[in-house]
Amino acid sequence: MVRRNCLVGAITILLFCQFIPIMQSQQLTPGVELECDSSTIDIEVYPSADPTGVVDCTVTNPSIHFEDIALQYQGGPLSISGPSSISLAGGESEEFQVAVRGENYMQKGSFQIQIDATVTQVNGMPNPTYDTNSVDLIVDILQFPGLQLACLDSVLEIQVGEEGNYGFSVMNMGNFVDDFTLSIENEDALNNLDWTVNQDTNSVLIDSYYPEIVRIGLFAPNSISYGADYSRGDEAFETQSLTSNGTIENIYKISLKATSEYSKNWDGYLVSETISCTIKVIQYPEDSTFSSIGDILPSTSSFMAILVILLSATYSNSKRRL
């Protein structure tokens, strides 16, 4: 009997010693540990993008107790989705995924979000200490480029030899300030047709979702001829017409190209746009213009005839009154 009792005691001590390392690695008091595999989340918000970023996190129960753990998320203007609670036995861990959603066209910027893990129950009983562990993450809303061009005038009309300027609207459709390079794509063709183009601005810095007005100085040809060969400026010349009174009208186009500087280093594609706007040049026949003040006055004979008519009318009115 004594030997049997000694044998049972030895076995009990041996089993207890096997569990000592496990108990030493787990804490007696309730607790929770939380960590995520990245401290930042990048979100693309260009028009066709899915504005969602995800991060993988792990919650651990470091105690010897069975715990119910509540998960809460704080994201400011961002929407956050993930599990609301996880139950773990002592020493267990569980991975879960958190999705953070922005909105397309959001301004570039950074936001801080917080994930809280709180022990709400221990072994089925409310936890009076509400042990909590938190993780702070940074969400970066990434920049994207965008561009929209427009002509300010449907048709710009000027006469031969006149100076004018054409206005373009350059709008930054990206979500952050961007620099746009500008060029007149058909400037050589315009020069071949005796135009002079003065482009003072080669680039313009524009805030997001904001338009900038760009004006290009132009000097029209000193003269145009009906039926002339304009093939040397095909990229600028459109059509020609002759009115019944001999007025010649030439239709030209001016083409502005704008390119986003940021897009040159963007992972997407180069953002560039070209727009062509219409210019009408008018040349009136020589006999339809007035070279001096004498051209707009009647001749001496016409003047005398008008004077006689006026005097006769005045005499007739006076006679009726009498």
How far apart are the C-alpha atoms of 210 and 222, rounded to whole Å? Answer: 38
Mean pLDDT of the 305-315 span: 54
Kindly report the backbone phi and psi dihedral angles of residue 54, in degrees, each rounded to the nearest multiple of 5, phi listed first: -130, 155
How far apart are the C-alpha atoms of 134 and 60, rounded to whole Å? Answer: 12
Pick from 157, 162, 166: which is nearest to 276 by CA? 166
Mean pLDDT of the 23-30 span: 72
Residue 267: CA count within 13 A, CB half-sphere: 5
Report pLDDT for 220.
97
> At 28, is the pLDDT very low, low, confident or very high (cuts 50, 70, 90)?
confident
Mean pLDDT over the full length of the chain: 87
Pick from 67, 175, 52: which is nearest to 121 by CA? 67
CATH topology of domain 26-141: Immunoglobulin-like (2.60.40)
Does 26-141 match 147-288 in CATH topology? Answer: yes
Report pLDDT for 287.
65
Least confident segment among 20-34, 157-171, 280-294? 280-294
Q: Is 59 strand, coil or helix?
A: strand
Q: What is the DSSP code string of 205-261?
A: EE-TTEEEEEEEEEE--S---TT---GGGTTTEEEEEE-TTS-EEEEEEEEEEEEES
Mean pLDDT of the 248-274 span: 95
Q: Where are the domains of the chain?
A: 26-141, 147-288
Rounded to two decimals, what is the model's pTM? 0.75
Report pLDDT for 135.
97
Q: Does the 147-288 domain belong in CATH 2.60.40.10?
A: yes
Model confidence over 127-176: pLDDT tens digits?
999 999 999 999 999 999 999 999 998 899 999 999 999 999 999 999 99
